[in-house]
Amino acid sequence: MSTMIPLIEMSALPEGRGRRVCKAGLDLAVFRIGDAVYAIEDSCPHAGGSLSNGKLQGARVTCPVHGLKFDLDSVCQPSAPTLVARKYAVNVVDGIVMLAPDEHFPGD
C-alpha cells in the first residue's frame, strides 16, 4: 500500500475553484465540490494549459487555453477521449486532502 501524501488543508481549498498543488514531484489541480475532492494532473494534455486555472462547472473543468473539457469524476474527456488528464485518488483525513500517488483511476 502506498504512503499517503498530504496535499492541502480542506479549509484552504476554495469551493468550486481549482488550486494548483505541487507535491512529490507531481503538479496537480485539486478541486473541491461540496464534500467531494478531486485531483488531476494540472497540465492539459492538449496544449499544456493549467487546469487549476480552468472554469469549473459541476464536476467538469474547462481548460483556459483552448476550451477542452475534462470530467473530474470519470476517466476521460468527453469530446476527445484520447486526451486524458490523469486522475489521482485522494481522501480527506482530519481535514487534510491526502494523495495516494501510486493509485489512479482505471484507463488513465
Query: Could you give the CA distance from residue 105 to residue 94 in angstroms, rounded to a whole number?
Result: 24
CATH domain 5-103 topology? Rieske Iron-sulfur Protein (2.102.10)
pTM flag (> 0.75): yes
| Tens of pLDDT, residues 17-56 | 999 999 989 999 999 999 899 999 999 988 899 999 999 9
φ/ψ region of 94 (left if φ > 0, alpha if ψ in -120 to 50, else beta) reads left
Query: Could you give the CA distance from residue 67 to residue 47 in angstroms, rounded to a whole number?
Result: 10
Please name the amino acid found at residue 90.
Answer: V
- pLDDT at residue 12 greater than cutoff 80: yes
